[in-house]
Amino acid sequence: MEQLSTLIYEKTGRIARITLNRPERANAITLEMPCELAECVERANLDPDVYVIALAGKGKGFCSGYDLVVAAEQRPGNDPSSRWPPGSPMDVQVQLKNHIRGEVWDPLIDYAMMSRNVRGFMSLFHSDKPVVCKIHGFCLGGGTDMALCSDLLVVEDTAKIGYPPARAWGVTTTALWAFRIGAEKAKRLLFTGDSLTGKEAAAWGLACESVPAQDLDRRFEHLLERIARVPVNQLIMHKLLINQVLFAQGLYGAQVLGTVFDGIARHTKEGYSFQQRAAEVGFKEAVRERDEPFGDFGAIASPDRTR
């Protein structure tokens, strides 16, 4: 495995530990992160001594979403040929269709890029071995696409978990909310962009456990150790069996639709208006204005990175 730029991979006993390692950017997602995530998951799966994977984030929170501040602050009317940040959806589109002049959005090129991110996140879901995710501080936007692909969540009771981009500029690409908490509760969150606290996440069935910050590490390790006592072949069979239920319910089709819709959401009238406002006043202020009518200003510790 090449040197990781966004993650840390470690092994302690029967536990493989994957840690998001961009604390200076609130662990915001880059194009490299889903690829490195899949590499780490594969490494754990190929290691016969690993029984369970622990996923966590370094710094003040788990993950604030996609790192698209610079992309959002570009004016929609600008020539994108050299201005989009490396690795952003806009940059990838320009690279793949550089023969096209001007700003022509190809939804399938957008899908080709975003679906690769989904496959990276879904490496957690497809992992032979169970994945337990620890959430502290915040898990927002694209961060929830990653966390919900894990098998079990242990959450700090005051953490904020949600998808504020549902209000403008985003659709959940992994489409797992309805599968994890049911259609009605998923609609309640995505129709408003509201966030859950860790306590609410546990009450809604999203997290298996919600605990105070001072107990989070201890309870997380306790669950990992109990899982690691079970024979790895048993763990793999149980995970395969349960995951088949979600596939039978239409998970793959929902993800295709969610990934296409995510591209559309960035190219609607409202999506362009949001980006135009971000170019004028900055992404942080545009997010604040988007969320102000809801009274929560994004409900997060770092509202400048909420996609």
- Would you write out the chain's pLDDT as a tens digit for each of its 307 residues? 679 999 999 999 999 999 999 999 999 999 999 999 999 999 999 999 999 999 999 999 999 999 876 556 555 444 444 334 444 444 444 444 443 345 678 889 889 989 999 999 999 999 999 999 999 999 999 999 999 999 999 999 999 999 999 999 999 999 999 999 999 999 999 999 999 999 999 999 999 999 999 999 999 999 999 999 999 999 999 999 999 999 999 999 999 999 999 999 999 999 989 988 988 998 889 999 999 999 874 443 344 444 4
Decide if 284 contacts 49 (C-beta within 8 A). Answer: no
> Position of tokens 């032979």?
128
Q: Name the amino acid, one letter, at 163.
A: Y
- In angstroms, the CA 265 to CA 100 distance is 22
> Position of tokens 């589109």?
93
Q: Could you tell me the CA-to-CA distances from 261 to 140, 168, 172, 216, 254 in Å, in that order?
A: 18, 12, 8, 35, 10
Q: What sign results for the dihedral spanned by CA atoms 237, 242, 244, 247? A: negative
Write down the pLDDT at residue 307: 47
Distance of CA 28 to the CA centre of its chain: 9
Write down the pLDDT at residue 91: 47
Domains of the chain, each with CATH number or no CATH: 7-294 (3.90.226.10)
In terms of phi and psi (left: phi > 0; alpha: psi -120 to 50; beta: otherwise), the region of 5 is alpha
- In angstroms, the CA 245 to CA 224 distance is 24
Write down the pLDDT at residue 164: 95
Q: Name the amino acid, one letter, at 215.
A: D
Write down the pLDDT at residue 1: 65
Q: What sign results for the dihedral spanned by CA atoms 18, 132, 170, 282? A: negative
Write down the pLDDT at residue 284: 86
DSSP code, position 165: G
Write down the pLDDT at residue 11: 98
| Residue 286 buriedness (CB in 10 A; 0-12 / 13-18 / 19+) | buried
Write down the pLDDT at residue 2: 72
Write down the pLDDT at residue 105: 83
Write down the pLDDT at residue 95: 41
Residues in the chain: 307
Write down the pLDDT at residue 295: 86
